[in-house]
Amino acid sequence: MKKGRLEAFSDGVIAIIITIMVLELKIPEGGHFENLKPLLSVFLCYILSFINIGIYWNNHHHLLHATEKVTGSILWANMHLLFWLSLMPFVTAWMGENHFAALPVAVYGADLVLCAIAYYILQTLILKEHSKNSPFVKALGKDLKGKISPILYLIGIPFAFVNTWISGILYITVAFIWLIPDKRIERALSEKGNKAVDK
């Protein structure tokens, strides 16, 4: 019951975040093709953020599905995650309207890092409520995706001041890691991890 309302509230906030981003696609004054062109970069940012928020919703959904008990700290860790997610429409529009200028690209990455950290805190708090043998803890496994994502974002931030393409590719790579069906990527990543360990 308690969990149900936490999910419902989070769903509401995430649904609004993902949808109000479209309000930043300002309606162009003319009805010609040239009027659409300046919107291209905002549109591309919108796609990327739509996917990113979709990934967060998806993961949040699985995480809470597995949760049995909602404590006060879980509740506030969830609020903390929603806070950084709520800044996505702002950083998305800022990056898009300034055609991928260095600082906005770095700030976009910074918000992604903060979302990832907030998610990690939430996950850790939920894990603490579960025994090590619970199916949830086992399903999470090594959580390679969760660990690699903030690192790739963090690398992307300083690179924004060198070449924003590198940051862009890093951000998109993280999205792909999460979009590709779990098992294959998990296996690929864990093999790499094993090799690294072998060396």
Which DSSP symbol is given to 129? T
Is the Cβ–Cβ distance between 102 and 165 less than 8 Å?
no
Quick note: the x/- pattern for its own copies over 149-188, rule CB under 8 A, is ------------------------------x-xx------
Q: Does 89 bind its own copies (CB under 8 A)?
A: yes
From the list 69-77, 117-125, 130-138, 141-149, the region that binds its own copies by CB under 8 A is 69-77
Is the Cβ–Cβ distance between 62 and 126 less than 8 Å?
no
Which of helix, strand or coil describes residue 199?
Answer: coil
Q: Does 83 bind its own copies (CB under 8 A)?
A: yes
Helices 72-86 and 102-128, packing angle to 10 deg: 160
Q: Does 9 bind its own copies (CB under 8 A)?
A: yes
- Got the DSSP string for 135-166? HHHHHHTT-HHHHHHHHHHHHHHHHTTT-HHH
Binding footprint of its own copies on the chain (CB under 8 A): 1-2, 5, 7-9, 11-20, 22-25, 27-33, 36, 47, 50-51, 54, 57-58, 61, 65, 72-73, 75-76, 79, 82-83, 86-87, 89-90, 93-94, 97-98, 101-104, 107, 179, 181-182
